[in-house]
Amino acid sequence: MSMLIRLARAGLWALMGALILPGSVWATEPMAVLTELRVGTADVGIRRSGESDWIPAQPLLALRPGDQLRATGNAQAVVLFAGGSVQTVSAANSPFVVQAPRGRSGTENAQAVLGGVIQFLMGQQREPRYEQLAVRGPTLTPRIVSPRDTRLLPGPVTLEWMGPASLRYQVKVVGPQGVVWDQDNLPRQPVPYPASAPPLKPGVRYTWLLTAPGQPDQQAPFEVVSMAEASRIQTALANVRSESSTAYPPSTVSVIRVGLLLHEKLYADARRELLAGIAAEPGSATFRELLGVVYDRTGLEELAVVEFEEASMLSRPKS
């Protein structure tokens, strides 16, 4: 992990360490997570239990009993509790005090899925106190973007990379027995793995390579999950959609689905869902935050920092 990401994440590890300190105000386990944050020209603030100052809220913030959320103007936040219930916070019900909700929400299957996913999401919060950690600019060195260090659900596979548009590229997919498929003289654009090529076998680890004249070679591993695993995961995703679609805001349903994909290390599938979510809702700070998590997990630290910065900007009121 790069120094940039270590700096950005330092507060998270300090916070996690504080959870085990006897008598600490953080000794209480988190019980909810902030899944949506819409500020516009207003804002959403949080005051931690036992503290006096209000600070800006951030997407994927883990919440504990006694924490307070305050929305002004037309700002809103959505809180998802570990038991599966959900609460929208607006100016009308501010300040909202986080307390254990009554009962649990959804069927037994939904609770089983949601419990693990919500706990996972609670661990993704990031210390917001970092500024200007990266200087944005053109990427001159080709970099594999997806699939990259990931598992994949069965289905079409698309090879994606970044780099100078002036170059021509060669891609090659290699399995345990050698080269499975290759193509050269390609422009910089996504390349679908063709249906005419040998099918990618579940449970087999593949590596795809990217080369360009005068540039360092790039490679990244990926693996298609077994049919049994795919069936389990797809059933869980379907349960999330069917059980949550009427109970939760659509963006929160997407956050839960992405959390499940991330928990299963299906980073390419999570990225695809996040890009679709961002296209539909460009102002979602949580989608940007989660996309940063995907890039962080797959070793694309510069892209991760860009997404974290974007999430922070979307969490602040527009002047």
- Cα 191 to Cα 174: distance, rounded to the nearest angstrom: 16
Q: What is the mean pLDDT of residues 5-18?
A: 36
Cis peptide before 147 (omega within 30 of 0): yes
**Residue ranges, CATH 2.60.40, the chain:** 155-222
User: How does 28-51 read in b/e, with b if 16+ C-beta sit within 10 Å?
Assistant: eebbbbbbbbbbeebbbbbbbeee
- Cα 210 to Cα 144: distance, rounded to the nearest angstrom: 7
pLDDT recorded at residue 115: 67
Quick: pLDDT tens for 113-128: 666 777 777 766 655 4
Superfamily classification of domain 1-139+225-319 = Tetratricopeptide repeat domain (1.25.40.10)
pLDDT band at 248; cut points 50, 70, 90? confident
Q: With beta carbons less than 8 A apart as the criterion, state whether 87 and 34 touch.
A: no
pLDDT, averaged across the chain: 83
Q: With beta carbons less than 8 A apart as the criterion, state whether 32 and 81 touch.
A: yes
Q: pTM for the full model? A: 0.84
Residue with more model confidence, 112 or 218: 218
- Cα 92 to Cα 186: distance, rounded to the nearest angstrom: 55
Quick: pLDDT tens for 167-187: 999 999 999 999 999 999 999
**What residues are paired with 81 via a beta bridge?**
32
Residue type, 91: A
- Cα 76 to Cα 90: distance, rounded to the nearest angstrom: 5
Q: What is the mean pLDDT of residues 298-313?
A: 92
DSSP alpha helix (H) spans, the chain: 3-18, 108-122, 227-244, 250-263, 267-280, 285-297, 301-314
Q: With beta carbons less than 8 A apart as the criterion, state whether 59 and 76 touch.
A: no
CATH 2.60.40 applies to domain 155-222? yes
Q: With beta carbons less than 8 A apart as the criterion, state whether 273 and 287 touch.
A: no
Q: What is the mean pLDDT of residues 221-246?
A: 87
pLDDT recorded at residue 293: 93
Q: Tell me what percent of the residues of the chain surpass a pLDDT of 90.
A: 63
Q: Helices 108-122 & 250-263, crossing angle to 10 degrees?
A: 80
pLDDT recorded at residue 82: 84
**Residue ranges, CATH 1.25.40.10, the chain:** 1-139+225-319
Q: What is the mean pLDDT of residues 66-79?
A: 94
Residue 254, pLDDT above cutoff 70: yes
pLDDT recorded at residue 197: 96
